[in-house]
A and B are shown apart, each in its own frame.
Chain A
């Protein structure tokens, strides 16, 4: 039997479609839907989650993420520049910082900074937002620094040479020529950082939560305890998704725009 290349490709595609359909059918038959919806999608409980899950829990998650990201971005930029600096101690410091903060689990960093700093200095964190967002920013900075460094290194060397030959100082060329181009390159990985950060905020609750500072994940967990049902956790998961989707769409739009500009 001889099939042309196209016929073979079509046959394979039909086979994949059929396999997918069979898998879906099996899923529908195997899964005990009434049991599942009873345990995880109870409409009565879903309704009870609103509006607090948006007005309080999602709000807190966004506050933690926002300050964590802004702090991480600023500090990360400084660290990236130190990492590329000609001054050796700067390079050493940045490299050590990045390796240490990147290598320790966020959960442990949260505990060490959240409680270790007050124990060591006698100074107590003014509120939960600072106590939670500061360690988050410090860790995010380590990751973001490496992303920014890769972006700066990806800008063609000729850009810096051209800028310098026009009489710009090193720092001026960096700020006005290199870094803007670098940020265009690192937009996708930076979005990744942001999305990861949204979900990392769920660890902050280890420092303790009050009625007003509960984040999404903790809100879901407390709901599970309150209703003795997993529905609140599922709803919290969906709200995380709702938070990230517009963001990733926005970045996709910015990328398209950036591509048009470059052409």
Chain B
């Protein structure tokens, strides 16, 4: 979960700013959307080329046969299809500065579980948010109905990962619980499975992934933090981002989005 941590550490402060102005970030496109059928160009005809930093389960990775899979990949495939039947082409690119890749004509768009931040918005044009990087509570499946909030976890022990947004969130919102920090996700899940802790509080995708693999665990609650993921294109490529946003909206209304969300996170989108 390296990236979560980098994101968490670097942008913990920015997240506050972001949540304060997240409404603005959605209306960053100029309000003069003249025609719905804007003409956009891609670097290779008939294809939407995406830069992603793989592997990063459950957002993007290659399965045993080398096929690209993951939440970002599936969602972008659906979006590309809505954009006039484009097919998806994937390029693996290190995460450092990945949002600059479209401007360098390496790809059309970045889809890599990337948090929308002010800093990145200065260098790239972001789509509408497509994923809320929420915090979540993972508990033993038979307690999924009871351990759902700070009150029900009073006097109990909550596991968090050291130096993450989850740890900060727990310390601020679960003041009546014992917060136990783990440097290592392996040990954190073992502690939960062995009953040494009552719940694990961390990024929803990480917990969801575990809940999917171990049916004795379940997510009992999610908490909004204001951190959101977006796709990014070159700063001046307004035509493309409008098409992507339209495709995203279409995928949401057609139910494709919900289906993909459920496939990778095991729960319905909020």
Q: Tell me whether A111 and B178 are in contact (CB under 8 A).
A: no
For A209, the chain B residues whose CB sits under 8 A away are 180-182
Q: Tell me whether A210 and B194 are in contact (CB under 8 A).
A: no
Partner of B196, one of A131, A206, A211, A222: A131
Contact of A207 with B187 at beta-carbon distance under 8 Å, contacts A225-B9, A225-B162, A225-B163 already known = yes
Q: Tell me whether B193 and A119 are in contact (CB under 8 A).
A: yes
Q: What is the 8 Å Cβ interface bit string for chain A, positions 221-236, against chain B (1 contact, 0 not)?
A: 1100100000000000
For A74, the chain B residues whose CB sits under 8 A away are none
Contact of A114 with B180 at beta-carbon distance under 8 Å, contacts A206-B187, A221-B162, A225-B162 already known = no
Partner of B188, one of A208, A210, A218: A208
B contact face: mostly helix, strand, loop, or mixed: mixed
Q: What is the 8 Å Cβ interface bit string for chain A, positions 103-147, against chain B (1 contact, 0 not)?
A: 000000001001111110010110000010000000000000000
For A207, the chain B residues whose CB sits under 8 A away are 187, 191, 196
Contact of A118 with B180 at beta-carbon distance under 8 Å, contacts A222-B162, A225-B9 already known = no
Q: Tell me whether A208 and B193 are in contact (CB under 8 A).
A: no
Closest Cβ of chain B to A119, distance in Å, is 5
Q: Tell me whether B191 and A115 are in contact (CB under 8 A).
A: yes
Partner of B187, one of A111, A118, A211, A218: A111
Contact of A208 with B195 at beta-carbon distance under 8 Å, contacts A221-B183, A222-B162 already known = no
Q: Tell me whether A115 and B193 are in contact (CB under 8 A).
A: yes
Closest Cβ of chain B to A201, distance in Å, is 15
A118 CA / B196 CA spacing, docked (Å): 8
A221 CA / B163 CA spacing, docked (Å): 10
Closest Cβ of chain A to B48, distance in Å, is 38
For B184, the chain A residues whose CB sits under 8 A away are 206
For A225, the chain B residues whose CB sits under 8 A away are 9, 162-163
A222 CA / B163 CA spacing, docked (Å): 7
Tell whether B190 is near chain A: CB-to-CB under 8 Å: yes
A222 CA / B190 CA spacing, docked (Å): 22
Tell whether B234 is near chain A: CB-to-CB under 8 Å: no
For B183, the chain A residues whose CB sits under 8 A away are 205-206, 218, 221
Partner of A210, one of B163, B180, B193: B180
Q: What is the 8 Å Cβ interface bit string for chain A, positions 159-171, against chain B (1 contact, 0 not)?
A: 0000000000000
Tell whether B248 is near chain A: CB-to-CB under 8 Å: no
Tell whether B197 is near chain A: CB-to-CB under 8 Å: yes
Within 8 A of B (CB), among A194-253: 205-211, 218, 221-222, 225
A33 CA / B165 CA spacing, docked (Å): 34
Q: Tell me whether A115 and B162 are in contact (CB under 8 A).
A: no
Tell whether B233 is near chain A: CB-to-CB under 8 Å: no
Closest Cβ of chain A to B255, distance in Å, is 40
Contact of A208 with B187 at beta-carbon distance under 8 Å, contacts A118-B196, A119-B193 already known = yes
Partner of B194, one of A119, A205, A206, A211: A119
A125 CA / B159 CA spacing, docked (Å): 16
Which B residue's beta carbon lies closest to that of A119? B194
For A218, the chain B residues whose CB sits under 8 A away are 183
Q: Tell me whether A118 and B159 are in contact (CB under 8 A).
A: no
For B181, the chain A residues whose CB sits under 8 A away are 208-210, 222
Tell whether B179 is near chain A: CB-to-CB under 8 Å: yes
Closest Cβ of chain B to A111, distance in Å, is 6
Partner of A211, one of B179, B182, B186: B179
A250 CA / B186 CA spacing, docked (Å): 40
For A222, the chain B residues whose CB sits under 8 A away are 162-163, 181
Which B residue's beta carbon lies closest to that of A226? B163
Q: Tell me whether A210 and B9 are in contact (CB under 8 A).
A: no
A209 CA / B179 CA spacing, docked (Å): 8
Contact of A208 with B194 at beta-carbon distance under 8 Å, contacts A221-B183, A225-B162 already known = no
A117 CA / B181 CA spacing, docked (Å): 20
List 18 extra interface pairs beyond A221-B162, A221-B183, CB under 8 A. A111-B186, A114-B196, A115-B194, A116-B194, A117-B194, A118-B196, A119-B195, A124-B196, A206-B182, A206-B183, A206-B184, A207-B187, A207-B196, A210-B178, A218-B183, A222-B181, A225-B9, A225-B162
Offer 24 A-B interface pairs, CB within 8 angstroms, sorted by A.
Answer: A111-B186, A111-B187, A114-B196, A115-B187, A115-B190, A115-B193, A115-B194, A115-B196, A118-B194, A118-B195, A119-B193, A119-B195, A124-B195, A206-B182, A206-B183, A206-B184, A207-B191, A207-B196, A208-B197, A210-B179, A210-B181, A211-B179, A225-B162, A225-B163
For the complex of A and B, list the 5 residue pairs with the smallest distance between their C-beta atoms, beginning with the closest: A225-B163, A118-B194, A115-B190, A115-B194, A208-B180
